Amino acid sequence: MNPVSDPEKEFLLKQFSALRTEIEAKLLEKRNTIRNAIITSGAIFSWLAIQDITSPIYSATLFVPFGISLLFSYCSRAITKDLALIGQFIEGIENRFDMPADLGWERFRKLHPLYNWESLFWGCLCVGNLVFAVAMLSYEYLSRV
């Protein structure tokens, strides 16, 4: 690989810095997505707790938290894909500087993959919302019998 020229080095370092700023913004967006999904689900179920279970809107609203959680999980997944794409680009910048394989975050991350807690979180939230909705629907049905 050819050595990095000074103008190229300056350009790559500025680009690297800009991408790191973008990563920070996307991570904040991801945290907000997780927080908003939890708050939205809790708010809807809290509202349902004080409603009349014989109301027609009650049954329809039970599955809204599940649907919203799915939508939030898709948004979070899109952010993850954006981050992975940025990571691949940063890895290319790191490779351009011809450093050892364990130097540079993106190259290090490939050698030591992180546990994907996010899939577990979204799965638990979506399934939990669905189970709660079905349980409440069953309770509604049994209370009418």
State the pLDDT at residue 111.
66
Name the more confident of 2 and 82.
82
Write the single-letter amino acid at 40.
Answer: T
State the pLDDT at residue 99.
72
- Domain map (residue ranges) of the chain: 6-144
pLDDT tens for 58-95 read: 888 999 999 999 999 999 999 989 988 988 888 888 77
Q: What is the mean pLDDT of the chain?
A: 86
Q: What is the mean pLDDT of residues 101-105?
A: 71
Rounded Cα distance, 66 and 134, in Å: 11
Which burial class, exposed, middle or buried, applies to 41 when counting CB atoms under 10 A from its CB (0-12, 13-18, 19+)?
A: buried
State the pLDDT at residue 142.
77
State the pLDDT at residue 129.
96
Instruction: Count Cβ atoms below 10 Å from residue 36 Cβ, excluding itself.
Output: 13
